[in-house]
Amino acid sequence: MEAILKDYIEAQMREMDEHVDLDVGDDLVAIGFDSIAYVRLIAFIEDRFGLSIPDSEVTIEHFGTIGNIAAYLEGSGVTVKGGGAG
Amino acid sequence: MDFSWSEDQTALRDDVIAFAATLNEGLRDRERVGEFPSEAWKRSADFGLLSMSVSSAHNASGIDTDLMTAALAMEALGYGCRDNGLNLALATHMWAVQHPIETFGTEEQKDRYLPPMTAGSMIGAHALSEPEAGSDHIALQTRAQHVSGGYRLSGTKRFITLGPVADVALVFATTDPDKGRWGITAFLVETASEGCQIGPVRDKMGLRTVPMSNLEFTDCFVPESNRLGLEGAGASISAGALGIERCFILATQVGSMARQLEEAIEFARTRRQFGQPVGKFQSVSNRIVDMKLALTTSQLLLHKVAWMIQQEQRFTLESALLKLLLSESFVESSLAAIRTYGGAGYLTEQEAERDLRDAVGGLLYAGTNDIQRVLVARVLGL
């Protein structure tokens, strides 16, 4: 799951002319991931993993880093097997 | 895909139109002096309008209204009520304050604020914009410092619709500017609180019956029980609230455009020049056709976005497109109406020029159209 998120976020950053090699613990806001990027990320996650994320749960604890997001999704029951979303 | 409305929905629409028409009394006089229609506000609450954005568990009417029906009711409000300032005021209170409380609030917050708000005895304002943080609201500077039992807020909120008459404000502040979006937190601040000062009413081009002012906070204590949602969730709460707001605030403009179209057609059929109705001239009829096209496309997108919200689908892109289409269509429709009436349309007594002045505000509030285009472009991957 972390790999899927990393690929997506790095691709978004490239669209913003920011070429980064992300670590799962990197602070996304600090590297320039802005509010519109988050809108797109959440839409991507909902579509890719088939869940609905309440706005009230988009906090630093859940969405601050790739690791946080992966943990949040796993806690929400999302699993990834063989590159697909479970 | 079913575009039809039920008998109950059309009956409600007709009731709202009939009621809304009673809100027009004295409009020209109060618009001239910029007077907020308090009595019309209370009657709107008594009618049940303010309750439509809140579930029956917490509203004054005790009636549940689904979001599609609520959108239709807002449309009907705009058709019947010519006071676009009042329409904006009602919609802001309903969708940018009450609805976020319903969505993100604790049971205690809902019990304390929503019954009096939906009953019309408590007015709410949405306080996000600041002098240095308009479209870039992540850069807001209003501080919320932790203190025993809650927070102390300091900062200035600018261009706050209903600010001068608000009893409670949904205020966005940062607990830590270094955290960017993760510091932004939402608070329900009672304007009678010590340290909260309402600035003077700002005069403006249109929407003159809804007062606007700054709100100043100086070490204003807000108890922890008045924080809306989690600390740091404010940016997401704001984004969610603004998306809903764009749909339902602008819904009244669809009704306004429908009224403009009907009146323009009636005028073009009865006003005669050169021995025939002016509507027989293609330069006039083409303009009216364009009014119809703008109305129909706006209405379709409004209903689609309301449907998406009701289905709990993500609607960021569509609500931005709706904001663009509706607000720009209302400006065009208002100008087209004036041009159809000719010189008479330029007179205040015709009541067409007021719509144009009011419509310009729609290009700016609920997120400027410039920033909506930025958002849409980014979502498209540009």
Q: What is the pLDDT of residues B99-130, one digit of tens each?
A: 999 999 999 999 999 999 999 999 999 999 99
**What are the tens digits of pLDDT across the range B251-273?**
999 999 999 999 999 999 999 99
B375 vs A contacts (CB less than 8 Å): 36, 39
Please determine, for residue A83, whether its predicted confidence score (pLDDT) is greater than 60. no
Encoding tokens for residue A83?
């590159």
DSSP-based three-state secondary structure for A51: coil
* Mean pLDDT, residues A65-76 taken together: 94
Amino acid A86: pLDDT: 36
A29 closest CB neighbour out of B182, B236, B316 = B182
Cα–Cα distance, B370 to B353 (Å, whole number): 24
Q: Which pLDDT value is given to residue A85?
A: 37
pLDDT of residue B122: 98
How far apart are alpha carbons B363 and B279 in whole angstroms?
A: 30
Average pLDDT over all residues of chain B? 95
d(CA B374, CA B380) in angstroms, rounded, equals 10
pLDDT, mean of residues B61-88: 97
Q: Please tell me which residue in B245, B262, B263, B332 is annotated as part of the active site.
A: B245
Interface with B, mutate which of A15, A46, A60, A68 (most B CBs under 10 A): A60
Element (H or E) spanning B92, and its range?
A: none
Is pTM beyond 0.95? Reply is no
The DSSP element (H or E) to which B30 belongs, if any, is: helix B27-33
pLDDT band at residue A80 using 50, 70 and 90 as cut-offs: confident
| Position B378 pLDDT exceeds 90 | no
Q: Tell whether B236 is within 8 A of chain A (Cβ).
A: yes
B245 is catalytic: yes
Q: Nearest by CB to A59, from B233, B240, B379: name it.
A: B233
DSSP output for B158-191: EEEETGGG-SEEEEEEES-GGGGGGGEEEEEEET
- The helix (H) or strand (E) run that includes residue B329 is helix B316-341
What pLDDT is stored for residue B110 in this prediction? 98
Q: Give the closest of B104, B312, B314 to A56, CB-based.
A: B104
B167-204 residue pLDDT tens: 999 999 999 998 888 999 999 999 999 999 999 999 99
Write out pLDDT tens, residues B187-246: 999 999 999 999 999 999 999 999 999 999 999 999 999 999 999 999 989 888 888 888
The pLDDT score that the predictor gives to residue B249 is 87
pLDDT of residue A84: 39
Residue of A nearest to B105 (CA): A56
Three-class secondary structure of residue B148 per DSSP: coil
Question: Quick check: B378 contacting A, CB < 8 Å?
Answer: yes
pLDDT at B290 over 70: yes
Asked if residue A66 has pLDDT above 70, the reply is yes
Q: Which of B372, B114, B96 is nearest to B248 (CA)?
A: B96
- Beta strands per DSSP E along chain B: 124-127, 143-147, 150-161, 168-174, 184-190, 196-198, 212-223, 227-228, 272-273, 276-277
As a whole-number percent, the residues of chain B with pLDDT over 90 amount to 88
Cβ contact A55–B104 (<8 Å) = yes
Confidence of residue B36 (pLDDT cuts 50, 70, 90): very high
| Helix axis angle, B234-270 to B84-91, nearest 10° | 150
Confidence band for A81, pLDDT divided at 50, 70 and 90 = low
Tell me if B237 and A15 make a contact (CB, 8 A cut-off). Answer: no
Using a CB-CB cut-off of 8 Å, the residues of chain B touching A28 are none
**Of B288 and B382, the one with more pLDDT:** B288
SS3 B106: coil
Of A29, A30, A39, the CB nearest to B316: A39
- Euclidean distance between CA atoms A61 and B238, whole angstroms: 18
Q: 10 Å Cβ neighbour count for B262?
A: 12
Between B322 and B132, whose confidence is greater? Answer: B322
* Cβ neighbours, 10 Å, residue B322: 24
Tell if the CB–CB gap between A55 and B138 is shorter than 8 Å: no
Confidence of residue B134 (pLDDT cuts 50, 70, 90): confident
Which chain B residue's Cα is nearest to A39?
B316
Shortest distance between the Cα of B310 and any Cα of chain A, in A, equals: 14
CA distance B49 to B51: 5
Cβ of B104 under 8 Å from any chain A Cβ?
A: yes
Q: Mean pLDDT over residues B146-161, rounded?
A: 97
